[in-house]
Structure 1
Amino acid sequence: MSETLNQTRIAFEPECITVPITSLLPVRPPRASVKASHKYQQIRTSVVEIGLVEPPVIARIDGNPESFLLLDGHVRIEILKDLGKTEIECLVSTDDESFTFNKRISRLSAVQEHAMILKAIARGVSKEKIASALGMHVNSVKRKATLLDGVCHEVVSMLKDTMCPMAVFEILKRMKPLRQIEATELMIAANNYTAVYATALLAGTPTNELAGERKSKKVRGVTPEAMIKMEKELTRLQESMSEIQETYGKEHLQLTVVKGYLGKLLGNPRIVRYLLQNRPEYLEHFQAIADANSFSDQAA
């Protein structure tokens, strides 16, 4: 037992240190488009409203006591620069090789964001305060809080880690539970979670499988004959998807292995430093593949 304790390494230095922002060398510099994203504005509003909740993580550089590797917190550092800050309190890691921090954490899905907002409301946080911290309108918070009302549990489980717009869930609510599951399976098989595709699935849903809708569906620019044809095509699509999945699964597995391998490479600061100095064009492409939410995004 004592040998095991002696072999255990402390992952961080016991005290945070305050360092100049100019002394930080980013392992993964944010792309220029990051500042224009809605997520950046949300994080910025949160920092302004409630301060920096989680300190950035840095690592010391051997032989260079004046500089530090920035391992985690690149976006937060950019925000603090924009706010005119010159110093930042950081957590110092004792290992700059294997610890990947938040690099592999994806954005919150709609289901996860819904759960987070409900938890905050349950703790007594007002919708107005949540809206202010997230940089959104109060009505958006209310909409997110009721997002899954009317969506069956199976669909919630299937989409809990999927990045799809809120509109998709609102469209699914208009279907009965069994049809919700069928539509979700089609979206997963096609790797298409857009509201446009979900609307097409709704249009191709028989009236008796709609929830609370008894009138014939009318879609602008679509004739009843075209609607019947669309329903038949969607049925054939659902049948053919299962035949495609075997080949798709093998190819997707190979691509996933490649993505994971590149992710490990980019988790090593020494390799990142080498690429920055010698092959910066490779680094940009490697980052794009490793950070891709899906391979359809990468193909696009």
Structure 2
Amino acid sequence: DVGRIKEKQKMLKGICPEAVDILKDKTITARALAVFRRVKPMRQIEIAELMVGLNNFSITYAQALVTATKAEDLVGSAGPGNMNGLKAHDLDRMRKEMESFEEDFKEVETSYEDNVMNLTLARGYLKRLLASGNVVRFLSSRYKEILDEFTKIVDSTPLDG
């Protein structure tokens, strides 16, 4: 169907390539993508990262993120978002809470990545230690419970960062 092909071509128009790249292997509806056009490229990237981070690609979540967007990050005459039944002061409070949430989320994401890296390094170090017969004999004769815990760590599934 020619109309369907044209529709798919237009689907990504107005969405920055970086946001598209972040979402390229995710299942997201055309309606949710259309919401991205209401915000500037930097905000599109932020929204894409938040959606991926929470694994939530719904139209409702996309609309909530756009509604919580500052006026200066909106495109042209898009105007601030409006959710049914919310007053201006409720929207302002929601925007502030969303900004705080986004900052907290990015902080947690960064610390998680650091922790995964540290745990991966520690696991590798323990693996090398336990490859030494002398270390294993020493631990098994004096600190059996520590050897057992080290072995569990080394045998555990590696973390992906």
Q: What is the TM-score of this pair, normalised by structure 2? A: 0.63
TM alignment of 1:55-94, pairs within 5 A: none
Q: Which amino acid aligns with 1:158?
A: I
Match of 1:170? 34
Q: Deviations over 1:114-134 (max 9, x none)?
A: xxxxxxxxxxxx61xxxxxxx
Q: Which shifted more, 194-203 or 184-193?
A: 184-193
Q: Distance in 2 between matches of 1:216 and 1:197?
A: 16
Q: Deviations over 1:1-30 (max 9, x none)?
A: xxxxxxxxxxxxxxxxxxxxxxxxxxxxxx
Higher-helix-fraction structure: 2
Q: Distance in 2 between matches of 1:215 and 1:173?
A: 12
Deviation (angstroms), 1:165? 1.1
Match of 1:54? none
Q: Deviations over 1:77-131 (max 9, x none)?
A: xxxxxxxxxxxxxxxxxxxxxxxxxxxxxxxxxxxxxxxxxxxxxxxxx61xxxx
Q: Which amino acid aligns with 1:240?
A: D
Match of 2:24? 160
Higher-strand-fraction structure: 1
Match of 1:213? 77
Match of 2:92? 228
4+ residue runs of structure 1 moved beyond 6 angstroms?
none
Superposed CA RMSD: 2.0
Q: Secondary structure at the match of 2:82?
A: coil
Distance 1:173 1:214, change over 3 A: closer
Q: Deviations over 1:121-168 (max 9, x none)?
A: xxxxx61xxxxxxxxxx4x44322201100001111111111111112
- Whether contact under 8 Å (1:207, 1:213) holds in the other structure is no
Q: 1:243 aligns with which of 96, 103, 107?
A: 107
Structure 1: unaligned runs, 5 residues or longer: 1-125, 128-137, 251-300
Distance 1:216 1:202, change over 3 A: closer
Q: Secondary structure at the match of 2:63?
A: helix
Q: Distance in 2 between matches of 1:150 and 1:214?
A: 13
- Whether contact under 8 Å (1:164, 1:193) holds in the other structure is yes
Deviation (angstroms), 1:214? 5.4
Q: What is the TM-score of this pair, normalised by structure 1? A: 0.35
- Whether contact under 8 Å (2:11, 2:33) holds in the other structure is yes
- Whether contact under 8 Å (1:186, 1:238) holds in the other structure is yes
Q: Which amino acid aligns with 2:35?
A: I
